[in-house]
């Protein structure tokens, strides 16, 4: 399980639409990658961050690098931060 904080590139970016685009790109990875849950965190001055809980295979080569790069490539994403990586029991 990976917990990510995704900041949009601009205050005008619709975070719900951004979540949908990210979810579509994660689904394209296949092989055990899936968005399990998400939340919206207000930051400041109208800016909101997405908090994503993503399930991924434990033995993924390069750790979270591939996942981060896929999400960075989504239109409207400004920044991606890994907050927590843990095993699901």
**pLDDT at position 89, please?**
66
How many domains is the chain partitioned into structurally?
Answer: 1
Averaged pLDDT, groups of 10, the chain, 89 residues long? 95 94 93 93 91 89 87 96 86
Give the domain CATH number at 22: 3.30.70.60
Domain with 45 in it: 2-85
- Contact 58/27 with Cβ under 8 angstroms? no
**pLDDT at position 63, please?**
81
Q: What is the pTM of this model?
A: 0.89
Q: HSE (CB half, 13 Å, CA atoms) of 10? A: 5
């Amino acid at each position: 399980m990976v917990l990510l904080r995704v900041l949009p590139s601009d205050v005008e970016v619709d975070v719900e639409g951004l979540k949908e685009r990210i979810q579509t790109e994660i689904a394209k990875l296949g092989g055990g990658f899936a968005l399990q849950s998400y939340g919206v965190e207000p930051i400041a001055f109208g800016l909101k961050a997405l908090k994503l809980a993503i399930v991924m295979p434990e033995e993924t080569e390069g750790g979270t690098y591939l996942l981060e790069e896929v999400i960075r490539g989504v239109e409207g994403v400004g920044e991606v931060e890994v907050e927590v990586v843990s095993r699901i029991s």
